[in-house]
Amino acid sequence: MNTDKIEHLISQMTLTEKLGQMSMLAASLVVTGPVSPRDPVMLVREGRVGGILNTWGYDEIREAQRVALEETRLKIPLYFSVDVLHGHRTIYPIPLAEACAFDRDLWLRTAAEAADEATRDGIHMTFAPMLDVCRDPRWGRICECAGEDAYVNAEYARAKVTGFQNTNDHPHRRLAGVAKHFVAYGAVTAGRDYAEVDISRRALHEVYLPPFKAAVEAGVAGIMPSFTDIAGIAMSAHRGLLHDLLRVKWGFIGVIVSDYNAIGELIPHGVAQDIVEAAVLALKAGIDIDMMSGAYEQGLPIALERGLVTMQEIDTAVRRILQMKSAMGLFEYPLRGLQQEIPGPDTIPAHRASARDAARRSLVLIKNEDGLLPLSNDVRRIAVIGPLADAQSEMMGPWCMAGDEQQAISILQGLRESLRAQDIAHVPGANIDGPADLAGIASAVAAAQASDMVVLCLGENRQHTGEAASRTLPRPFNCQMELAKAVFETGKPVLLVLATSRPWILPDWMAAGPRAILIALFGGTEAGRAIGDVVAGDYNPTGRLCISWPYRTGQIPVHYGMRSTGRPHDPNNGFSTSFLDAPIGPRWGFGDGLSYSQFELGEAQVSKPVISAEETVDVSIEIANTGAHSGEATIFMFTHDPVALATRPLLELKDFRKAVLAPGQRTLATFQLNANQFRYPDFNMEPRLDNGRINIFIGTSARRIDQKCVTIDVLQPPVVNDDAA
Ligand code: NOJ
């Protein structure tokens, strides 16, 4: 539909119909009984709904769209939206896991596949990607983001937006992304969900905004403000960030969609007296679509009467929504993409294979003493113990609305398929949560004693993760700790598989006890097979942590991008920054992860020693596989600016790269680094580039010991002052 037609449509709309377009309803529209006056069908029929969330599938979508097209006055099609965070029917690893793959192609591919499935189910919009950088495992929603680093989240944003919106060949297989939650939701106080966010402007600009900037640059269709406030300004009313920054400075032209009931929640936030004030604040801030609070429908007619908002402001929002529907192709193809056959892992085998690959790439082997993995042929009898061993449902993670847990592969099944020659005994030994099961522990110990080794599968259930799932002690549940102690006491070699949604704060004995530890954040439909592949040695692990695993809760936040401080940490100096009762760094940090191969790095080299603004330098390093297995190395490039106007993090990630190498093979990895990448926010949060030295660290993790350093100098031509000339 062209601009003129959209304007013509707006000119025909009543206020109720305009506010209807601005309202999103959570509903099912296949009616099986008598209807009430507020029934969703009635609301659609009266033009009071513009789009529907949490509805998918052939019958539902067809019926809802039929009502919109046949029974409403203006016949404007509905759009349908669902949270497709890590897959639609085929479920991929949770974002925190997939980020550990450090693989942009993978991130893009799984988004495109999810878009393909969701559009076949009639969906047009997803509330993803979630881009809340987070450094706090207490927050349940940490599982939805790409970890602790701004650059990783930004790269993840670009890949996901492109995968959802622009990758599939047919336009009807593309899904509009809504990047969320703008902004800094990941910094909620103490990791308590919905709590206040009080961070510096510097943290906002350096850490939390860049992923959203990347999403906007990639052309994301929508942005969702977070439930929270920032420094006292509720995000759903934050004109400074939503209008002045997002719309005006960044030039964002898509729709801004509120979070669920978030406009109404401006009242309990204490910034709006009633629903009228809430609606005014949200509209003035720039929110186009009200998800489920009813504030626009109820509040804006009164606000208009009182002169608190104008019809032009309402029309601006309606125009954006109609433009979005037009870009989706809904006016021409209201049932775009919809098919009767249910798309998913049983009907699209390529997606199932891709989910297995994604799950394998997301696994992080963090400990492997004496090469316990891959399992040697001498291991004949294996005891698979723990409440997560046979937990199909938990593998699916928090956002799997259309996913079918019956399709998910448990760890036990995956091991049975991969280890056909071995005897596998299975004993749960404990529940996921709740009191210790003494009889269960006794059976587990007996099974361990009768085996050559134990695979101990501990973790969380899906309800422990995601929204409203904050924990002050994100650690193993007591019943699982009792089980682990008893199993360790048998003295059998243990592989601990941690099937969690977030970093767990492990007791030291629990990290020390097992010979090998595999971090298996919920891996989705194919989780179990991926684990089987790694344990059997059919896949050489390549995942690296995108999030630090602290030693103690009291260290939080702990991440690789800390600053030097005026008293840098020095183990020999008591008056340097440190803890008396814990190390300063995490137990396992950013980039940590093992492979069955060994990789060695040569010396890093730069193509020129000095660059000026806008110039690019090549930074190269030789990587050699000195191990006996073919494998995939992950190489990170960090920088550090040792002298600047503002204190700088000790390391800032600028790029990452994979290299597949056969035993004995070497390759030269070359990164391009532009001087603009050394810019940092000045005191006005404008990007600033200083003359002077930059240290470049290339390595296999964020640990200095794994890195090679090379330096470069920035020298900008002096500014010519024309007046003086
Ligand atoms: C609330 C969540 O905060 C948001 O992420 C999600 O998209 C909406 N509910 C809709 O399900």
Q: Residue 680 sits in a domain of what CATH number?
A: 2.60.40.10
Does residue 465 fall inside a structural domain? yes
Q: Is 412 in the same domain as 372? A: yes
Mutate to test the pocket of ligand 1, among 94, 131, 235, 467 (most ligand atoms within 8 A of CB): 467
Task: Output the residue whose Cα is nearest ligand 1's atom 9.
Answer: 260
| Number of domains present in the structure of the chain | 3
Which CATH number belongs to the domain containing residue 514 in this structure?
3.40.50.1700
Tell me, what DSSP letter sits at residue 539?
A: S
In this prediction, residue 718 has a pLDDT band, given cuts at 50, 70 and 90, of confident
Does the CB atom of residue 390 touch ligand 1 within 6 A?
no
CA of 259 to the centre of ligand 1 (A): 6
Among residues 132, 136, 229, 259, the one annotated as catalytic is 259
Give the percent of the chain with pLDDT over 70.
98
688 Cα: distance to centroid of ligand 1 (angstroms): 36
Residue 49 to residue 78: CA distance in whole angstroms: 8
Mean pLDDT (whole number) for 51-55: 96
Same domain flag for 366 and 294:
no
Round the average pLDDT of the chain to a whole number and report it.
Answer: 96
Pocket flag, ligand 1, residue 182 (CB < 6 Å): no
Cα 51 to averaged position of ligand 1 atoms, centre (Å):
15
DSSP conformational letter for 698: E
615 CB under 6 A from ligand 1?
no
Q: Is the pLDDT of residue 165 over 50?
A: yes
| Cα end-to-end span (Å), the chain | 56
User: Is 321 found in the same domain as 369?
Assistant: no
| Ligand 1 centre distance from Cα of residue 149 (Å) | 23
The answer to the question of residue 613 being in a domain is yes
Are both 168 and 288 inside the same structural domain? yes
83 touches ligand 1 (CB under 6 Å)? yes
Tokens of 660: 């597949």
Q: If you average pLDDT over residues 449-457, what whole number do you get?
A: 98
In angstroms, what is the span from residue 226 Cα to ligand 1's centroid? 9
Q: Residue 723: is its pLDDT beyond 90?
A: no
Count of C-beta atoms within a 10 Å radius of residue 716: 14
Whole-number pLDDT of residue 482: 98
- Looking up residue 227, the CATH number of its domain turns out to be 3.20.20.300
Q: What is the mean pLDDT of residues 318-326?
A: 98
Tell whether 505 is covered by a domain. Answer: yes
Residue 140 burial (CB count, 10 A): 24
Nearest-angstrom CA–CA distance, 247 and 259: 18
- Does a cis peptide bond (omega within 30 degrees of 0) precede residue 487? no
Instruction: Please indicate whether residue 259 is annotated as part of the active site.
Output: yes
Say yes or no: 376 and 450 in one domain.
yes
Instruction: State whether the beta carbon of 60 lies less than 6 angstroms from ligand 1.
Output: no
Same domain, 378 and 417: yes
Distance separating alpha carbons of residues 285 and 37, to the nearest angstrom = 32
**630: pLDDT confidence band, cut at 50, 70 and 90?**
very high
pLDDT tens per residue, range 332-343: 999 999 999 999
Determine the pLDDT at residue 463.
Answer: 86
- Among 85, 127, 290, say which to mutate for ligand 1: greatest number of ligand atoms within 8 Å of CB: 127
Paired strand residues for 424: 382
E strands of 268-393, at which residues? 290-291, 364-368, 381-385
With cut-offs at 50, 70 and 90, classify the pLDDT of residue 36: low
Any ligand 1 atom below 6 A from CB of 259: yes
Taking only the tens place, the pLDDT of each residue in 83-115 is 999 999 999 999 999 999 999 999 999 999 999
**387 and 503, same domain (yes or no):** yes
When pLDDT is averaged across residues 193-204 and rounded to a whole number, the result is: 98
Of 536, 555, 574, the domain-final residue: 555
272-287 burial code (b ≥16 CB/10 A, e <16): beebbbbbbbbbbbbb
In a domain, 35, yes or no: no
pLDDT for 31 beyond 90: no
pLDDT tops 80 at residue 448: yes
Nearest CA to ligand 1 atom 1: 260
In this structure, are residues 495 and 373 in contact, taking their beta carbons and an 8 Å threshold? yes
In a domain, 381, yes or no: yes
Whether 281 and 369 map to the same domain: the answer is no
- CB of 405 shorter than 6 A to ligand 1: no
Q: Tokens standing for 241? A: 């960030």
The CA angle 258-262-267, to the nearest 5 degrees, is 140
Residue 65 lies in a domain: no
Q: How far is the CA of 480 from the centre of ligand 1 (A)?
A: 31
Q: Are the C-beta atoms of residues 194 and 188 closer than 8 Å to each other?
A: yes
pLDDT of 709 strictly over 60: yes
Same domain, 539 and 651: no
Find out whether the beta carbon of 117 lies less than 6 Å from any atom of ligand 1. no
CA of 373 to the centre of ligand 1 (A): 40
DSSP string, 534-554: HHHTSS------SS-B-SSGG
pLDDT value for 32: 57
Domain that holds residue 130: 85-326
Residues 169 and 301 in one domain: yes
pLDDT of the residue at 725: 47
Share of the chain above pLDDT 90, in %: 96
Domain identity same for 319 and 353: no
For residue 126, give every residue at least 6 positions away whose Cβ sits within 8 Å of its Cβ, in sequence order, or none: 81, 82, 83, 84, 85, 114, 115, 118, 164, 175, 176, 177, 178
Question: 186 and 127 in one domain?
Answer: yes
Residue 499 tokens read as 């099937």
Kind of pairing between the strands at 229-230 and 79-82: unpaired
Q: Each residue of 116-163: pLDDT tens digit?
A: 999 999 999 999 999 999 999 999 999 999 999 999 999 999 999 999
Q: Is residue 341 part of a domain?
A: no
Q: How far apart are CA 552 and CA 417, in angstroms?
A: 37
Domain boundary, last residue among 294, 326, 358: 326
The reported pLDDT for the residue numbered 37 is 63
> Nearest residue CA, atom 7 of ligand 1?
127
* Residue 608 included in any domain: yes
